[in-house]
Chain A
Amino acid sequence: MTKNISTHPRFSKLDQAGSRAHLQQLSSMVSASSSLPKYIGEESRSTVVSSGLPSLDRLLRHRGVRLGTLMEWLEADGDGMASASGATTLALAVAVHLQAANELSERRPVVLVDRARSFYPPSIMPWLESTQPMLPQSYSNVRSRWSKKNTVNSREEHLLYIVYPANEADEFWTIDQLLRCPSIAAVVGWPARVSSIAMRRWQLAARSSGAVGLFVRPSNARREPTWAEARIQVGLSHSLRSRYRHGASCENVDPAMCQSISGHWIHSRAFTLMQVGGQWDAMVAVPEPSVECVLDLTSGKEYVGFHETHMNFS
């Protein structure tokens, strides 16, 4: 009777170690090819940072933005220009905050992929100046700033770049290239139609670099499957909606009554953020929660306590 070599204690120990390595490898492969981020070890290693909007943090599964993931922002109705509902404003606020609150030692630029060539930078320039790194200045910060100023041919590193692709193919290629670069904090884009293959490429690219992709999509993209970790629909806040509905339905109302006298309202904007899907949706059946958020448009930060924030699980 021959004895199986694998049952020998010495070999079985080796076999166990090899099996564990194989299992880890398989697990990572499955995780990479699956839409479900189920490998606990990988998830625990990933870095979660605040989005800069406390209300949004409460809405997100990880209580913040996980680096190396994608986020979709859906307009309330129509596309970005036609709706003007504020999805782009929120996406930019998160991007600017990611740039400063990044735990990866130094400020990294935000890149906008603007195929329509309609983005107007003066609107968010004050956000870039007001946002300071939240972490204490580390040695690497000092070193990098010193080296930037003292290297030959040193040129000022900017915090915001804009790329103008000419067509859809260039737009997809540009986003893919940007998301693969670990020196970028966030990529903001307005892709109208994205195939699941392209978005999968972007997801893998972001995961390899740690950059965050923030994409503002039209409302009809809600039906499409997504590789984004979170999909947020942006709409008018509940309180304003009821007030406006009443004002618009009154035929005899004097329009002059609706006009704001002070004009201070332009410095802030109230939104309802609703989690309407995302990659987690297939694994965990979470009802769609929503939060209210008031954004200070002067600084790009949220007014905390200005409005009563509530979770709506109905």
Chain B
Amino acid sequence: MSGKSASRIMTVVLPRWPVQRQLLQQPGFREFPVFVCRKNARGVLSVVSWAWVMPPETRRGFQPVIQSGFSLSEALAVLTSVYGEWASRVARILHEDSIGDIRVLETLGRWCHRFSPVVAIGPDVIRGKVKKQSTRSVNSLQIDVSDTARFFGGELSLVRMVVWVLAARGIHARAAIADTPAASWVAALCVDRLAAKNQQASSDFCKKISRSARGSTCLEKEKPRSSRHGHWLSRQQRWVLVPSGQQRQILGSMPIMSLRLPVDVVDSLAEVGVESISQLLRLPRVSLQERFGPVVSLQISRFLGEASDPLTPLQESDLSGATHSFEMPVLSRDLDYKYFRQLIESLVHQCIRPLVVTNRGASSLQVRLGTNGVRGSTILEVGLYKPTAKTSHLVDLVMLRFERTHLPREITGVSVEVLSADALPCRQQTLFRSPVQSDMSQFEILLNRLTSRLGSGAVVEPQLLSDIQPEASWVAAPVVHVMGTSGSCRSGHAHESKKTQVSKSVVGPSRPIFLLSRPQLLEVSSLGVHGVPVRFSWKGRVHVVMRTRGPERIETAWWRGPTVRRDYYICETNLGGRFWIFRGLQKRAWFLHGTYG
């Protein structure tokens, strides 16, 4: 058989990507409802994306409908109505970091080069129905699998492999293969609708079209083996194959919104009853062009494959990797530490050597210990404060992490991969090195060592935020990041992009040295209901208040979520201690929030 084969494009959509990306970096948040929000010009936080991976078992049947564009207060109200008040209290509010999202998506795209040499970031997705409130972000990858699918056993095997391999890495994805990027995008975006449609159709219809000339099936579906990713991931359909030339028939019932038409065009078409793609295709192109300009005709042509819609491939990463496979699996208990170090050293050296030529160094590194077990590979990731090309330093960091990692029983191989690289800092050396001169490079080495052993979130630099609530008035920004996610900060409670940091928060002597992570209930005697505290007991000791300063009322705005209304007092006791206590104005109870250590 000869002749040029038609193109086949696979689109991989990552639903709720902003939240997924945050959960990948902070797995501890999987237990809480997580909202990624954006602050608008009026200071109101609106929900960009949200998820609760592990909601309470008793309420799993209910799924709150919180759409993108909801204000945070509205979203929390919906959450409270379904799960109760405590759900809003434990909710984690994160700020959107679109740059970080794209960078991680690009890293994922480069990883997908193992499926095809042509991988591109997918088109913008438009969120929100009102034009002024609509937001754009990227949450998909498009892969040209025209000639590579056969190497993976056909399109069905490939699309299934992509989805499940991503799932094994903790990433929920939906994928579709069609003739054109626009058609595969529509199919991947509307997997749920296609599944529902498929269920309604008769089984004869499915059998009829289940075998196509390419050996793939239409609307192949498979129920997931488990729903461990939670209710928002437990969809029944995760991939779709649209046979060649059948996108008009199969995707015709999908909404025109999925064609990425402008919001005002969609609204205008909806007013005249045009809501599906098939309805749109029945309209004359000329009249569409006269009414809406070339954009609608162009999108239709791209959908049908009449106009070219080339992918813009991601630049091939020049980051190198090196792999060593053992002839026989090695038991980890028999692993010679010295030999393993030498092995890592040689692999790291292979990775670093091409970078040095271009005066670059590794800023994050990944070591993968291959196993035969079902748990998959053991991954050690090392991030650096500043890029370095010193092999010995990188090996030290890897071994620090290695010592604290639970190894698999058997190791089949070791691979080292540079995840990100940057230009090496250029610093002039002095002619005569003074013994008392401070050397910052030693400090960088120290930060790298601390991070390698304690984790990236354990070494932080404090940065102030303009938030009146004490718990959210600063952020602990990790000094070392892995996989180039340097745009994000994190702390135990507050999260903020560096761009929004200002130094207008309350600082100085009115704030305590130590702040309790959760205010502790106190038994306080006060002068009347609204009076100042006179004495209180804490940790089995009665403190007589000798001096007080207050109240300082701290009250948060309603749109920030659960309202905080507190009257704070600074109390100096007869034992010389200073305490920061407050009276909650809602429950009229006293709490200790901090001490002036």
- Which residues of A are interface residues toward B (Cβ below 8 A)? 76-78, 80-89, 92, 103-106, 108-109, 116-126, 140, 143-144, 147, 151-155, 157-158, 160-166, 170, 173-174, 177-178, 181-184, 210, 216, 235-236, 240-241, 244-245, 247-248, 255-256, 258-260, 263, 265-267, 269, 297-298
Could you say which residues of chain B place their CB within 8 Å of the CB of A259?
A: 532, 547-548
Could you say which residues of chain B place their CB within 8 Å of the CB of A255?
A: 527, 534-535, 545
Of B192-200, B328-336, B574-582, the one with at least 4 CB within 8 A of chain A: B574-582
Query: What are 23 A-B pairs with beta-carbon distances under 8 A?
Result: A77-B575, A105-B438, A118-B516, A119-B515, A122-B507, A125-B507, A147-B428, A153-B424, A155-B386, A160-B461, A161-B460, A162-B462, A163-B450, A163-B459, A164-B460, A165-B458, A174-B450, A174-B454, A181-B442, A210-B436, A247-B546, A248-B544, A263-B549
Could you say which residues of chain B place their CB within 8 Å of the CB of A103?
A: 436
Is B509 a contact partner of A267 (Cβ separation < 8 A)? yes
Given that A118-B517, A165-B454 are known contacts, is A123 also in contact with B512, CB under 8 Å in the complex? Answer: yes
Is B547 a contact partner of A183 (Cβ separation < 8 A)? no
- Identify B438's interface contact among A104, A122, A123, CB under 8 A: A104
* Complex: chain B residue closest to A114, CB-CB: B514
Is B474 a contact partner of A121 (Cβ separation < 8 A)? yes
Is B454 a contact partner of A162 (Cβ separation < 8 A)? no
Is B575 a contact partner of A265 (Cβ separation < 8 A)? no
Does B29 count as interface, using CB distance less than 8 angstroms? no
Is B454 a contact partner of A120 (Cβ separation < 8 A)? no
The 5 closest A-B pairs by CB, nearest first: A236-B576, A88-B597, A84-B577, A297-B509, A183-B443
Could you say which residues of chain B place their CB within 8 Å of the CB of A140?
A: 437
Count contacts between A and B, CB distance < 8 Å.
216
Report the minimum CB–CB distance from B387 to chain A (whole Å): 7
- A140-B437, A164-B458 provided; 17 other pairs, C-beta below 8 A? A81-B595, A81-B597, A84-B597, A92-B513, A119-B514, A120-B511, A122-B505, A147-B428, A154-B425, A161-B447, A161-B460, A166-B458, A236-B576, A244-B546, A259-B532, A269-B578, A298-B508
Is B508 a contact partner of A123 (Cβ separation < 8 A)? yes
Is A120 a contact partner of B576 (Cβ separation < 8 A)? no
Could you say which residues of chain B place their CB within 8 Å of the CB of A258?
A: 545-547
* Complex: chain B residue closest to A122, CB-CB: B507
Report the minimum CB–CB distance from B356 to chain A (whole Å): 15
Q: How far is the CA of A184 from the CA of B439 in the complex (A)?
A: 10
Q: How far is the CA of A75 from the CA of B515 in the complex (A)?
A: 18
Is B575 a contact partner of A81 (Cβ separation < 8 A)? no
Is B508 a contact partner of A126 (Cβ separation < 8 A)? yes
Is B576 a contact partner of A266 (Cβ separation < 8 A)? no
Is B450 a contact partner of A122 (Cβ separation < 8 A)? no
- Identify B442's interface contact among A119, A144, A183, A297, CB under 8 A: A183
Report the minimum CB–CB distance from B575 to chain A (whole Å): 7
Q: How far is the CA of A183 from the CA of B436 in the complex (A)?
A: 10
Could you say which residues of chain B place their CB within 8 Å of the CB of A235?
A: 576
- Identify B597's interface contact among A89, A245, A267, CB under 8 A: A89
Is B595 a contact partner of A266 (Cβ separation < 8 A)? no
Contact pattern, B 532-546, Cβ under 8 Å of A = 1, otherwise 0: 101100110100111
Given that A153-B422, A157-B440, A240-B576 are known contacts, is A163 also in contact with B511, CB under 8 Å in the complex? Answer: no
- Identify A78's interface contact among B422, B503, B512, B539, CB under 8 A: B539
Does B208 count as interface, using CB distance less than 8 angstroms? no
Q: How far is the CA of A81 from the CA of B538 in the complex (A)?
A: 11
Does B464 count as interface, using CB distance less than 8 angstroms? yes
Is B453 a contact partner of A170 (Cβ separation < 8 A)? yes
Report the minimum CB–CB distance from B496 to chain A (whole Å): 14
Given that A124-B513, A266-B510 are known contacts, is A160 also in contact with B462, CB under 8 Å in the complex? Answer: yes
Could you say which residues of chain A place their CB within 8 Å of the CB of B84?
A: none
- Which residues of B are interface residues toward A (Cβ below 8 A)? 386-387, 422-428, 434, 436-440, 442-443, 446-447, 449-450, 453-454, 457-462, 464, 470, 473-474, 476, 479, 492, 503, 505-517, 527, 532, 534-535, 538-539, 541, 544-549, 570, 572, 574-579, 594-597
Q: How far is the CA of A235 from the CA of B300 in the complex (A)?
A: 79
Could you say which residues of chain A place their CB within 8 Å of the CB of B423?
A: 152-153
- Identify A162's interface contact among B461, B509, B539, B545, CB under 8 A: B461
Is B547 a contact partner of A260 (Cβ separation < 8 A)? yes
Report the minimum CB–CB distance from B246 to chain A (whole Å): 51
- Identify A86's interface contact among B442, B492, B532, B576, CB under 8 A: B576
Report the minimum CB–CB distance from A157 to chain B (whole Å): 7
Is B427 a contact partner of A163 (Cβ separation < 8 A)? no
Q: How far is the CA of A183 from the CA of B541 in the complex (A)?
A: 42
- Identify B549's interface contact among A155, A163, A260, A298, CB under 8 A: A260
Q: How far is the CA of A21 from the CA of B516 in the complex (A)?
A: 56
Given that A81-B514, A86-B576 are known contacts, is A178 also in contact with B446, CB under 8 Å in the complex? Answer: yes
Could you say which residues of chain B place their CB within 8 Å of the CB of A157?
A: 440
Q: How far is the CA of A255 from the CA of B509 in the complex (A)?
A: 24
* Complex: chain B residue closest to A240, CB-CB: B576
Is B576 a contact partner of A85 (Cβ separation < 8 A)? yes
Given that A153-B386, A247-B546 are known contacts, is A120 also in contact with B479, CB under 8 Å in the complex? Answer: no
Q: How far is the CA of A103 from the CA of B454 in the complex (A)?
A: 32
- Identify A122's interface contact among B464, B527, B546, CB under 8 A: B464
* Complex: chain A residue closest to B460, CB-CB: A162
* Complex: chain A residue closest to B508, CB-CB: A126
Q: Among the interface residues B459, B470, B514, B597, which one has the most CB atoms of the partner chain A within 10 A?
A: B597
Could you say which residues of chain B place their CB within 8 Å of the CB of A178?
A: 446, 450
Could you say which residues of chain B place their CB within 8 Å of the CB of A165?
A: 454, 458
Is A120 a contact partner of B514 (Cβ separation < 8 A)? yes
Report the minimum CB–CB distance from A141 to chain B (whole Å): 11
Report the minimum CB–CB distance from A239 to chain B (whole Å): 12
Is A82 a contact partner of B459 (Cβ separation < 8 A)? no
Given that A122-B464, A161-B479, A298-B509 are known contacts, is A153 also in contact with B387, CB under 8 Å in the complex? Answer: yes
Given that A122-B506, A125-B507 are known contacts, is A86 also in contact with B596, CB under 8 Å in the complex? Answer: yes
Q: How far is the CA of A173 from the CA of B515 in the complex (A)?
A: 25
Could you say which residues of chain B place their CB within 8 Å of the CB of A105?
A: 434, 436-438
Is A158 a contact partner of B545 (Cβ separation < 8 A)? no
Report the minimum CB–CB distance from A267 to chain B (whole Å): 5
* Complex: chain A residue closest to B465, CB-CB: A122
Q: How far is the CA of A120 from the CA of B507 in the complex (A)?
A: 10
Could you say which residues of chain A place their CB within 8 Å of the CB of B425?
A: 151-154
Given that A121-B462, A147-B428 are known contacts, is A181 also in contact with B507, CB under 8 Å in the complex? Answer: no
Q: How far is the CA of A106 from the CA of B434 in the complex (A)?
A: 13
Report the minimum CB–CB distance from B503 to chain A (whole Å): 8
Given that A89-B513, A235-B576, A248-B546 are known contacts, is A125 also in contact with B459, CB under 8 Å in the complex? Answer: no
Could you say which residues of chain A place their CB within 8 Å of the CB of B474?
A: 120-122
Could you say which residues of chain B place their CB within 8 Å of the CB of A81?
A: 514, 595, 597
Is A118 a contact partner of B514 (Cβ separation < 8 A)? yes
Report the minimum CB–CB distance from A116 to chain B (whole Å): 8
* Complex: chain A residue closest to B425, CB-CB: A151
Q: Among the interface residues B438, B458, B595, which one has the most CB atoms of the partner chain A within 10 A?
A: B438
Report the minimum CB–CB distance from B436 to chain A (whole Å): 5
Could you say which residues of chain A place their CB within 8 Å of the CB of B513?
A: 88-89, 92, 119-120, 123-124
- Identify B454's interface contact among A118, A163, A267, CB under 8 A: A163
Is B461 a contact partner of A164 (Cβ separation < 8 A)? no
Could you say which residues of chain A place their CB within 8 Å of the CB of B507?
A: 122-123, 125-126
Could you say which residues of chain B place their CB within 8 Å of the CB of A244?
A: 544, 546, 574-576
Q: How far is the CA of A126 from the CA of B505 in the complex (A)?
A: 11
Could you say which residues of chain B place their CB within 8 Å of the CB of A109?
A: 443
